[in-house]
Structure 1
């Protein structure tokens, strides 16, 4: 009788383990596919620096990135995100690249224009190219969408943002992977006298950006790896997104700050796990 009981007990335990594994796998798949990709996180950061003008004290910058519209991020969801951006009441908006996942096959880029246009930022909306914006012969598509959406797309150039008697400088580099980045041209007007923010899609060029005098670099590209494991972090990160996969870093002797935004969409695989989509809010503080 003991052998029969043991065999029965073994079978029950095995079936229980199998059921638990299947259930965990199913729940994990559902969570990573349908829950976390839309579980938006708003991260808030305070930026202090002696070169931030008094007139920019408490100015709010909002960064969004890597929507990859058309992969698993649809236009309706983009409307929801744009509404959330406006709820944050930004003074300045930065988009750091990869608007459409594959521009050459996306059927309706013009539908994005009113959504982007209705994002409000009294001191300006600025964008740069990501690798997907150039990919699939998408450079002109992206440029036209952003121009018609009242975004200023910075292509190896800088621009002044003025408020009262103060100003800050924003530098935008072309995409490092598929564009034609020109560091010297982008920073040629930078003297070091004004607080300077660099928009660069790929984060791993941060040491070079710091050497040109940027005080803050904002990047995307990595998606935080999309899938992370506890204690291990991101399992796979893209080229030029391996050294700085997400979050805050201090770069070099210049103490340049780098923030890497996890983005909003997904690419290749429609999953996120322990890497929630992110909108970043930066509040400037004059000291």
Structure 2
């Protein structure tokens, strides 16, 4: 860690301690984690076919159910997503916080099943989904809710004879991601979206014919301060933390979601949870 990074984390940690033990503790612990923003993005691209013009894709990520995020809160989230009338829904990993300690139940399946998207519902593994021996039970839950798993594979989405490609990789930290395998037998002329839980994987994605990467994992840092920014992000979310990123050496565009829930510490400060509604536009 260089001197600048050390000072940033030292000052930030000190401010966090002083702030979260003072008047902002209640806000960061009880108010902001319950707030939710609906972020709207327009994706304009020459590869987007005519019949996909104005198609809506809603991304939600990192719910971490069980760690200070309840099924009642998740039910409210489902209602808000359905009100956006998405054509496609994508979940980019970390459904529950500790799969081996979570009380898996039919209500969770029913809520996931009640999400509506006529062109399909898709998901990928996050590190918490693989962790705690959760790999099989998370997959079983999502299958019962009619979500399609993209694990080093792709799905061709058709609409009025036009097609786009939605692909996904296994989790980078605890899985075995293989983007080359995921893109096998795909047409690089088709508009291609990649779901990758860890955003820093984008440095690998730029070498492949992918137009958009959607990621989560970072939580936006959870705790942020003016002029300092985020204090901490997990491995593989250290370079790309939140929002939109472009690359000089590639036409790839990366979008990183701040996600819904929290982990490790039940705080959010100046980092409101979010879902993102993408509208496709033919250029």
Common topology (TM > 0.5)? yes
Q: What is the Cα deviation at residue 210 of structure 1?
A: 2.1
Where structure 1 has 5 or more consecutive residues not aligned to the other structure, the ranges are 1-21
User: Does residue 27 in structure 1 map to residue 26 in structure 2?
Assistant: no
* Equivalent position SS for 2:23: helix
Q: What is the Cα deviation at residue 209 of structure 1?
A: 1.1
Q: What is the Cα deviation at residue 212 of structure 1?
A: 1.2
Output the CA distance in 1 between the equivalents of 2:146 and 2:161. Answer: 25
Q: Tell me, yes or no, if the aligned pair for 1:155 and 1:172 is still in contact at 8 Å.
A: yes
Partner of 1:203: 199
Superposed CA offset, 1:222-252 (max 9, x none): 0001001111111100000010000000024
Partner of 1:150: 146
- The counterpart of 2:169, out of the listed 168, 173, 187, is 173
Output the CA distance in 2 between the equivalents of 1:172 and 1:182. Answer: 9
RMSD: 1.5
Aligned residue runs from structure 1 range 1-287, under 5 A: 25-287=21-283
Q: What is the Cα deviation at residue 211 of structure 1?
A: 1.1
Rg: which structure is higher?
A: 1
* Equivalent position SS for 2:236: coil
Output the CA distance in 2 between the equivalents of 1:202 and 1:23. Answer: 29
Output the CA distance in 2 between the equivalents of 1:71 and 1:84. Answer: 21
Name segments (4+ residues, structure 1) moved above 4 Å.
Answer: 22-25
Output the CA distance in 2 between the equivalents of 1:151 and 1:212. Answer: 26
Q: How many residues align?
A: 267
Partner of 2:3: none
Superposed CA offset, 1:79-98 (max 9, x none): 01011100111010000000
Q: What is the Cα deviation at residue 191 of structure 1?
A: 3.0
